[in-house]
Structure 1
Amino acid sequence: MIKTEKEGLLQLLKIASPFIVLTTVYAILVLVIEEYFGDHIYKVSGQIGSVFGLAVAFFLGFRMNSAYDRWWEARKIFGELTNNTRSFVTKIYVYFGNPENMRETARTDGTLQAAKLIDMAVLYIRQLKNEMHHNFKPVFSAESKQILDEFKVDTGNKISNEILVALAVSIEAGFSEKANVEKGDLMQHINRFYEIQGKAERIRNTPFLMIYSAFTRIIVSFYVVLIPVFIGDIDLGGENSGFELLAIPIMVIISSAFLTINKLANLFGEPFSENKTSVTINEICQTIEQNCNEVRNKIKP
């Protein structure tokens, strides 16, 4: 996760470095060819380059905004998951701690059931994180497997859905008819888990318009190739002044900037991929799990 501006600058340089090297070699090659065969042999009007560059810049800006909106939506989804889970486990602790809310058969072990439900909530968070990283069938520890077996979770099906079903069944079976308000409240949290999961899966399962990405790559690459045609060399002070070498850094800066922006848009467009620019779902889920365990530790054995 990028937490400081310094880290952001280092990651930016890491992403841009290949483009800087590539465009530097290309710019030197073009300048050598031009100087060898004669000045301005392929230079065209700079106005054409300005108009074309402006169009590409607007196009990249729109793409970058779309990618960031996708990234920010993913971050909001996991923020919603954090809030919903904290509220859910807190209400589990409170509602199951009141014997009057429980059926006669469940009053003696209400707190024990609350602890198990919180453990199941933790397993749900872990599994959702795994599924966002395309790990649908993780290897469970012996303790986790015991809890899943106790709640009769079918690991052959979609595990995250099975955990939510098991939570709903346990809540339905545990509360008395007098506690319909409490039971309904917890069921609303289960529904929100389904909604959050559905939103996250929609982003994960919907590629960021690959044909759009391919078109952008072609347009940007085409413009970068034509930049020397638009700029040419620089003859300030005459042919022997050496100022034509200024064309190299100018070409490199412009080309690297366009290529780097396009690369960043691709990275932001995949917010659940495991790279420095993706949503830090591992850290978010770790924080949620810690919050759940803090509530669970309040339950007396």
Structure 2
Amino acid sequence: MLRAVAGGRALLLSALLCRLAAADNPELPTAVNITWSSINFKTILRWQPKPSGYFYTVEILGKTSDTKKKCIRTEETECDVTDVLKNVKETYTAHILSVTSSRMDNFEEPPYAVSEEFTPYNQTVLGKPEIQNYTQKGSKLNVVFQDPLTPYTFPNGSFQSIRDIFQHDLEYRLYYWKDQSSGKKDATTKSHTFELSVDSSKNYCFYIQGIIPSRRENRNGQESVVLCTSVGRNILDEYGAEVFIIIAVIAIVVITLAIVLPVILCKRKKAKAAREKEPLNGV
């Protein structure tokens, strides 16, 4: 009898707390403008607005994986979710929960906003390749570069590169052009090197970017820094036709002065001598 009464009181108390919780936060704002930002599989979830009087908790739901919570009761409007997206070919959805600091949030499902779906393998942006070495010898331009690294590691603790994940689905494209020229050529490779036939008398500039040909979107990665060779570079290579024009103008001025100045001086000398031979007035 006493157990039944105690059990009834417990149920009534739970129901009362649930109703109080519902009344306590009936109009909590939910997140808007939810975006996924991912480069080389480092993935940040962002949203708005900044909370005031409440917090956010992020839930990551995979189509074939368990729900995982991140950034629990945070006042921030971004969350690094990289470590819960290790199955990069899985498709994920984020729920951004709006919660209060009260424990009564546990008695009902808090309001939340839902993100668009995100598949890291298809949507992460390829970062900038790092050019390690380049040489131009004769008519051959050789470029050696390195794959960008990801936040994910092997069992030995070393970081996986994007090539370790994409494997044969990854290739690189190099764009190159003669220095001081706007016409571009390109070449592709699945290795870490480029060997190009070029004009041995010209210098070349170039950059590299990763490409995932199988993608419909986000196929091209970020561009590396632009570098230029400096074989047989002279002042005209450095500064172009402007320097030649300036030099020509200076040469013309010098030659002109060399011809005209003696003539002027000679005429002045003759005029002075003529004046000195003229008789003085009244003599």
Query: Normalization by structure 1: what TM-score?
Result: 0.22
The structure with the largest strand share of the pair is: 2
Greater Rg, structure 1 or structure 2? 2
Of structures 1 and 2, the one scoring higher in RCO (CA 8 A, sep 6+) is 1
